[in-house]
Amino acid sequence: MALPNDYAGQSCSVARALEIVGERWTLLIVRDAFNGVRRFGDFATHLEIPRAVLTNRLRALVEAQVLTRVPGPAGHDEYELTGKGIKLWPVVRDLMAWGDEYYSPRGPRRILRHSLDDGTLDDAGRCSECGATVDVADTVIAPGPGLKKKRRGDDPLAAAFTMPHQLLTPARS
């Protein structure tokens, strides 16, 4: 018996959430949006995702009001997380921590820091310096000990992401 490709008719909140973010590539697009990726071409290059798949995933995220299209500086629309999309930050942060714990033998690939006092954030987003739970807009992501320093030649964002940067700040290739 073939498995259905959606969760239609399910009343479970997890199933309904997976209708929006459960497709292959979707959470990686959202992760990159937190990292400041906003242009279609930058998503395509950085994720090495087929353009047709990216088009479909971006359209679905816009329809679900997770992303919105905004005018970009070069006259081309860009994608930006909405308030609803920003609420996915704890999910992305927790998946990052889980992946680091179980699949990154050299340590975390990225370290999260508080932009106001440079304190390290724990898995719940609390600052080691001030004890505050830090909002995503006040979070800096920096390379950790598990990050490989290899650079893909055609992806200037990969090089930019080897440097600390504030989340939600537009990344420019």
pLDDT of residue 61: 98
- pLDDT over 70 for what percent of the chain? 91
What domains appear along the chain, each with residue ranges and CATH number? 13-85 (1.10.10.10), 88-166 (no CATH)
pLDDT grade for 3, boundaries at 50, 70 and 90: very low
What confidence tens digit (pLDDT) does each residue in 43-57 have? 999 999 999 999 999
Q: How many CA atoms lie within 13 A of 58 on its CB side?
A: 24
Cβ-Cβ contacts under 8 Å for 55 (sequence gap 6 or more): 40
Q: Which of 71-80, 84-93, 122-131, 134-143 has the lowest mean pLDDT?
A: 71-80
Is 107 or 80 the better-scoring residue by pLDDT?
80
Does 20 score more than 80 pLDDT? yes
pLDDT of residue 173: 66
Closest Cα to residue 34, out of 86, 97, 105, 107? 86
Distance CA 167, CA 173 (A): 16
pLDDT grade for 6, boundaries at 50, 70 and 90: low
Is 151 or 97 the better-scoring residue by pLDDT?
97
- Mean pLDDT across the stretch 89-98? 95
